[in-house]
Amino acid sequence: MGHWLAVSEENVKRLRAAYEYMALRHEPDFDFIDPGLEYHTRADLPDSTTYRGHDGIAKLTSEWFESFDDLRFDPEEWIDAGDDVVIAVLRLNGRIRGSDEEVKMPETHVWTMRDGRGVECREYPTKAEALKAVGVEE
């Protein structure tokens, strides 16, 4: 039990650090991203797709930062969902590049971790949908 707790706390720390890294450098933390990563964008969006590996996540983050000025993923909550699953409840804030249109959008990322690295991420529009998807009660 104690070992599991230490591992899950470490997973939350690693994920938080990966988002901080991205916020500072506008690129993914490749030390955190497993080379076999599968990153699934929100199923409710028309351009929903899966990005794979380091090349895929580099392409995705590049698209994010090219589309928005002042893009931020402001964490609201980190949830250890057990079984190497960490949920990041976020608020995306930014301005669509070349306009005055502000974007403030909730989004929740469900990460599956292995050996301290992200091997899968699924985006959800709400915390409730993410929790339901992993079978966690609010």
The beta strand positions in the chain, using DSSP E, are 33-40, 50-52, 68-80, 85-96, 102-114, 117-124
Kindly report the CATH number assigned to the domain that includes residue 41.
3.10.450.50
CA distance 61 to 59: 6
Supply the pLDDT for residue 8: 79
CA distance 107 to 30: 22
Model pLDDT for residues 123-137, shown as the tens digit of each residue: 999 999 999 999 987
Model pLDDT for residues 7-33, shown as the tens digit of each residue: 678 999 999 999 999 999 999 999 999
The pair of structure tokens assigned to 63 is 């698209």
Q: Which residues pair with 69 in a beta bridge?
A: 95
Average pLDDT, the chain: 92
Predicted confidence band of residue 6 (pLDDT cuts 50, 70, 90): low
Q: Does residue 40 contact residue 123 with C-beta atoms inside 8 Å?
A: yes
Q: Using only C-alpha atoms, what is the Rg of the chain? A: 15
Over residues 89-115, the mean pLDDT reads: 95
86 pLDDT more than 80: yes
> What's the structural domain count of the chain?
1
Residue 15: domain span: 2-134
37: exposed, middle or buried (Cβ count in 10 Å: 0-12, 13-18, 19+): buried
4 pLDDT more than 70: no
pTM to 2 decimal places: 0.91
Q: Is 10 helix (H, G, I), strand (E, B) or coil?
A: helix
Predicted confidence band of residue 44 (pLDDT cuts 50, 70, 90): very high
